[in-house]
């Protein structure tokens, strides 16, 4: 008998629903919240309200796109955390109500595990054990992945995440939110060696990006006093320098971890894994270090329910279900 799971993702500012059947994604619908652009970042209360407005239409669209009736569902999966608590409550409450009404199992999914398991939606799929550099707006981690549900964080950021560093730096350049993709596009036309910004030197495999933001801030203040049009004149080179600093910090730690753990299978996950500069540099390093590298399809890089669905698929196989007393967690460890 086939296993059909409806998965719901509502951790931040994307309302998403997906249908997976026996490990194959049949639909993946995402409603993006544009309301946050004018504020330069995600406003939690506005995110929660948008999830409430979007969740029923998004789920309905996912079922229709997959040509699945809700009575055929085997289980409901949802993002338990980490994320914005108000946003998580919307997805959790909806999933609970639906599983109660249909009398089917409920599966909770760790958002960060799901980013990593997104690699198992399509070919090529990573070989265990592998290292996953998970980079997003809220998290930056190096994870040792031994099996589908056996993962260990060996390094993580101690302050800003890589995606946050991109967005905050973009804001200093006068770019709109989200600024990461804009920096990526501008950097492709710039000289990454023209402006050099500070890079942290954290012990082990940990990261710190707050110093970079400070370096960019003080440099721009100094240059704008001399020339008020400095940013406009050098925007491409500035973006390239900022991007290089972030990518260098990420890859330096990844190289260290791969050598120490003697692992040659390397995966990249999270929203920042869509960054073309990062993909290009990882591809270059793969040749130098004899790595086998894995990137998820672009639609599975940013927050989406397909990654929640594939994680739920593996949990369903282990009968890993939860009760209706389950509560969302704004902070949630990987394991």
Same-domain check for residues 131 and 280: yes
Rg (CA), the chain: 20
The set of residues, in sequence order, having a beta carbon less than 8 Å from that of 132 and lying 6+ positions away, is 116, 119, 126, 141, 142, 143, 145, 151, 266, 267, 268, 269
Same-domain check for residues 140 and 275: yes
Gap between the Cα atoms of 117 and 296, Å rounded: 9
* pLDDT value of position 35: 65
Range of the domain at 313: 4-116+300-317
Indicate the range of 14-28, 171-185, 307-321 predicted with least confidence.
171-185
Same-domain check for residues 196 and 211: yes
The set of residues, in sequence order, having a beta carbon less than 8 Å from that of 103 and lying 6+ positions away, is none
Same-domain check for residues 232 and 291: yes
Q: What is the CATH number of the domain that holds 100?
A: 3.30.420.40
Same-domain check for residues 196 and 112: no
* pLDDT value of position 335: 63
Q: pLDDT, tens digit, for every residue of 123-160?
A: 999 999 999 999 987 889 999 999 999 999 999 999 98
Same-domain check for residues 25 and 87: yes
Sign of CA dihedral 82, 83, 84, 87: negative
Q: pLDDT, tens digit, for every residue of 20-55?
A: 999 999 999 999 767 667 666 677 788 889 899 999
Residue 43 neighbours by CB distance under 10 Å: 17
Same-domain check for residues 254 and 135: yes
323, part of any domain:
no
289, part of any domain:
yes
Number of residues in the chain: 335
Note the pTM of the prediction, 2 decimals. 0.94
96, part of any domain:
yes
């Amino acid at each position: 008998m086939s296993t059909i799971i409806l998965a719901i993702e509502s951790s931040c500012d994307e309302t998403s629903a997906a249908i997976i059947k026996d490990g194959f994604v049949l639909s993946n619908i995402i409603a993006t919240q544009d309301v946050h652009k004018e504020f330069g970042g995600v406003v939690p209360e506005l995110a929660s309200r948008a999830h409430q407005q979007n969740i029923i239409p998004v789920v309905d669209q996912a079922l229709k796109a997959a040509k699945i009736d809700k009575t055929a569902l085997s289980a409901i999966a949802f993002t338990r955390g980490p994320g914005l608590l108000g946003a998580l409550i919307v997805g959790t409450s909806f999933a609970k109500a639906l599983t109660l009404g249909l009398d089917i199992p409920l599966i909770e999914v760790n958002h960060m595990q799901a980013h990593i398991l997104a690699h198992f939606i399509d070919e090529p799929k990573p070989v265990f054990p592998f290292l996953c550099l998970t980079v997003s707006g809220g998290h930056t981690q190096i994870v040792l992945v031994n099996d589908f549900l056996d993962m260990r964080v060996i390094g993580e950021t101690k302050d800003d995440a890589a995606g946050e560093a991109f967005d905050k730096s973009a804001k200093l350049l006068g770019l709109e939110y989200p600024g990461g993709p804009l920096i990526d596009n501008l950097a492709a036309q710039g000289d990454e060696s023209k402006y050099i910004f500070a890079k942290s030197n954290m012990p082990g495999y940990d990261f710190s990006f707050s110093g970079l933001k400070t370096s960019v801030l003080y440099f721009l203040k100094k240059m704008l006093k001399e020339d008020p049009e400095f940013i406009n004149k050098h925007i491409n080179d500035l973006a390239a320098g900022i991007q290089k600093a972030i990518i260098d910090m990420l890859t330096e730690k990844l190289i260290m971890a791969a050598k120490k753990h003697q692992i040659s299978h390397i995966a990249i996950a999270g929203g920042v894994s869509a960054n073309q500069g990062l993909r290009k540099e990882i591809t270059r390093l793969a040749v130098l270090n004899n790595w086998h590298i894995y990137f998820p399809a672009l639609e599975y890089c940013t927050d989406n329910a397909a990654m929640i669905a594939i994680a739920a698929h593996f949990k369903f196989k282990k009968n890993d279900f939860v009760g209706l007393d389950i509560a969302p967690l704004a902070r949630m460890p990987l394991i």
